[in-house]
């Protein structure tokens, strides 16, 4: 990721992050929901987003999911990535947000959120690092401190995980870990 578009304010906000909360459709996926005639639901996830999440968790930043829909696919992907906090079918995402915040004794400025639509505005206005993906709804973009270069489901989450790790001064150590492997 080229940090040329990252402001010092965004880096300062990212440095404080202890929890990254993600929406699913339009953030972890490209927003398409594929249904077959048997009632199965299919979603496509980007492998680099998943790797970024795993690295973030491994380096002490928790990750949670809050989404308006319910899907077994989301449960499976969260389990694969080690995401323990998964809140689905949340019509009022602020309720789940407040529960997670209390559970981990966090302040708003220690939480980042990535969204893509107007339903995400209540969380974008609360968190310390509000982020939307590049193809987010224009009204949601107005509430973001950062708009990713990549689209949802296409590496946008990875941009943010890398940003947080770089802001915390962990990136070079992570690269060195892989060089030694």
DSSP conformational letter for 144: -
In tens, the pLDDT along 157-175 reads: 999 999 999 999 999 999 9
What does CATH list as the number for 11-176? Answer: 3.40.50.1000
Residue pair 164/56 in contact by the 8 Å Cβ criterion: yes
In tens, the pLDDT along 85-141 reads: 999 999 999 999 999 999 999 999 999 999 999 999 999 999 999 999 999 999 999
The reply to whether the predicted model has a pTM over 0.85 is yes
Place of tokens 């079918």: 89
- Secondary structure element (H or E) that encloses residue 115, with its range: strand 111-115
Domain ranges of the chain: 11-176
**CA separation for the pair 157, 45 (Å, rounded):** 11
């Amino acid at each position: 990721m080229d940090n040329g578009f990252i402001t010092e304010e965004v880096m300062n906000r990212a440095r404080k992050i202890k929890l990254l909360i993600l929406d699913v459709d339009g953030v972890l996926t490209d927003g398409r929901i594929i249904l077959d005639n048997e009632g199965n639901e299919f979603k496509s996830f980007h492998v680099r987003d998943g790797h970024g999440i795993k690295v973030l968790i491994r380096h002490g930043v928790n990750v949670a999911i809050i989404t308006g829909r319910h899907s077994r696919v989301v449960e499976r992907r969260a389990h694969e990535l080690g995401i323990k906090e998964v809140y689905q079918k949340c019509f009022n995402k602020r309720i789940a947000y407040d529960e997670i915040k209390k559970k981990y004794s966090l302040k708003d400025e220690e939480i980042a959120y990535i969204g893509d639509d107007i339903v995400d505005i209540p969380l974008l206005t609360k968190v310390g690092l509000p982020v939307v993906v590049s193809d987010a709804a224009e009204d949601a973009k107005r509430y973001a401190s950062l708009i990713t270069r990549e689209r949802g489901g296409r590496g946008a989450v990875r941009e943010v995980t890398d940003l947080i790790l770089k802001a915390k001064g962990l990136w070079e150590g992570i690269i060195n870990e892989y060089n030694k492997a």
